[in-house]
Every structure is written in structure tokens, then in C-alpha cells.
Amino acid sequence: MHFYFQVKAHKQFGMGKDLYEKYDKVKAIYDKVKEITGIDVAKISFEGPEEILNQTKYTQICILTMSLAILEILKQQGIEADMSCGLSLGEYSSLIYAKALDFVEGVKIVQKRGEYMQNLCPKGDCWAMSAVLGLDDNKVEEICKKVKEGFVTPANYNYPGQVVISGDKQGIDIATELMKAEGAKKVIPLKTSGPFHTEKLKEASKALEEFLKNKEIRMPQIEVIKNIDAKPYTSKDNIKEILAKHVMSPTKMSDSIKYMLENGIDTFVEIGPRKNFI
């Protein structure tokens, strides 16, 4: 069995350029996304500048485009998934792959998602995210609750021993010192522009929910594991409501991987924005 995992990795200049130059179908995907969005994804991905690529309204569409391009190459090579999930933005790659979302509509939704998460994010430069390495989930949660000055909360449960925290700089700084004192191997600041996957994105969540009302989203044709609870989408789920809540809810990738291991997945294919991926 196979599994595709779209990771919300650090963006980097040149991501996807080698694939773009090698495969005509990759070029076609980049061209199609540019036609849909009006954004020159290839130029931003390959050349920057950094202040543009780091804006989430561009970061998200650039990473989605590369992810869909990689999935197309894997498909050409006969590699197909029985189950899929994706970290944060990556859930959209999974839903498009599983035919829950049409390619064009999926791209349009991600474009709006990025705009809402940037434009309806709390204003100011006081927001931050950091990756905590070497502490278990419970310890990270416990330390975040101890922080009374500022705001900080777990946002991404990536892997055992790796949790991303999100909040304002004061809260992040205090939590960082406490986590290092408790034995964290590293606490790495991330290049992000907001307190994503926290209650601070409530307005963005509301706007996305309204935008999704008139969009067609079907049940996935293969199992897609949800970020918010690490379980597959079912016919009982309101997918639009879940995707709206997604932007202000922690992602549970660690539990998603555990679910897949417990349900027979034995081959994992991880994709994301890295040079020379294939």
C-alpha cells in the first residue's frame, strides 16, 4: 500500500525548478495555475524575492503548485496512493488528488485561503511560530499553559518529538526558555507571517467558510485523513466546515501517521518543496 504525505516544509528559492525544466507536464501545471490565479508561480518560486515568497498568500499557492506537479509525476510512474493526508495546506493537495476537489476549484480555494490568512490575520509584527524538537506533546502543552504573559499554544503536532508552537513573540520567547530548561534539543524560529492554526485566525476561518458555501466538494475517492482529528473524512462530515475550522485548529500529523500505520499502510511517500526531489 502507498501513502502520499504533503509536508508544509520550509519554502526555498528554486523549489520545483529542476522538475519544471525536466517535465513538460510540470510546466503545464505551473502555466495552468498562473492562468487561474494571475500569479506567476514559477517566477516567485524560482526567483523570489524572499519578502514576496514569505507572504502566505504566495507561499501557499507556490507550495500547492509544486505538490500537484510532483503528484502528477508519481502518477506517470505508476505510483498511486491508497490513503493520503497533508500537513495544513497539504490537505488541499490530498483532497485534489483524491478528487474531492476539482483542480481549478482547489487552486481557487487555496488562493483565497492564503489571502484570508494573510489579510485577516491579526495586524502587527509581534506574531511568531517556532518548532520545538525533543519534547513530547504533553510537555509542550504543559509549558504553553504555564505562560501567562503573551500568547502561545501548540499549532502543529508534526512527529513524535516535534511540535510547532504559535503565538506572539513575548509568549514564544517565554515558552522557548522554559522548553530549553525542560530539555528541548532545539527551538527553531520559523519564517511565517502570523499565528497560524490558533484562535487568532478566527476571522480568516469565518471568511473561508463563507467562500466555501458555493463550492462543490465531494467525498474523496480514497481515504484522506483530516488534520483536525487524525481520522478519515466520512459521509457524515461537513467538509466545508472542517476546512474552515482547519486554519484556526492545531494540525495532528503525528496521530494521522499513527492511524495509517494501524490501518495497514506499509509504504510512505513524503513530498514537499525541496530541490532535486525526483
Catalytic entry in 197, 205, 249, 256: 197
130 part of the active site: no
Catalytic entry in 88, 93, 130, 256: 88
Asked if 122 and 204 touch (Cβ cutoff 8 Å), the reply is no
Strands 268-271 and 162-168: unpaired
197 part of the active site: yes
Catalogue the active-site residues.
Answer: 88, 197
